[in-house]
Amino acid sequence: MAYKTDDIFSFSAFDPSKLTEGFREFAEKGATQSREAYAKMKTAAEEATKTVETTLQSAQAGSVELGLKAIDVMRTNADMSLSHMEALLGVKSVSELIELQTAYIRKQAEVTVEQAKSLQDATRKLAEDVAKPGKDAAEKVMATFKAA
């Protein structure tokens, strides 16, 4: 039995150009996928940055508004107290003092309730405004996942 040595060492089935071509296609596909992934990550990072900037701007604007409301509350309370003190200086009887004090306490309670509602509304609005950019971004991301 004679062996054909030329068949054993024959590489006629192996074509190096096909291997190179396959490797090139693989590398190009990988590079394309990497570019696409980078573009998506870059876009996501830019959107996240915009979301943070918008959130901070909303928080700053809302904090200023809330601060101004608090100052207004203090000013109103100070004005009411000074007006009450001036009225007390003109009191001529105990009954007038009691009537004046009762009216002041009633008015102060009404104003305090109104002020609390106003501050609560401003705080709720601030929370909504600060949360809105993040909420919108999250909804956008979820819509992207649902579409994919």
Encoded amino acid at 83, one letter: S
Note the pLDDT of residue 56.
Answer: 80
Note the pLDDT of residue 148.
Answer: 56
Mean pLDDT is lowest, of 1-5, 24-28, 67-71, 110-114, for: 1-5
Exposure string (b/e) for 47-69, b if CB count within 10 Å is 16 or more?
eeeebeebbeebeeebeeeeeeb
| Span 109-122, pLDDT tens digits | 999 999 999 999 98
Note the pLDDT of residue 71.
Answer: 92
Task: Check residues 99 and 41 and name the one with the higher pLDDT.
Answer: 99
Note the pLDDT of residue 147.
Answer: 63
> Residue range 25-38: average pLDDT?
83
Q: Is the pLDDT of residue 18 over 60?
A: yes
For the chain, the average pLDDT equals: 82
| Span 73-110, pLDDT tens digits | 999 999 999 999 999 999 999 999 999 999 999 999 99
At residue 8 the predicted structure's pLDDT band, cuts being 50, 70 and 90, is: low
132 contact partners, CB below 8 Å, separation of at least 6 = 58
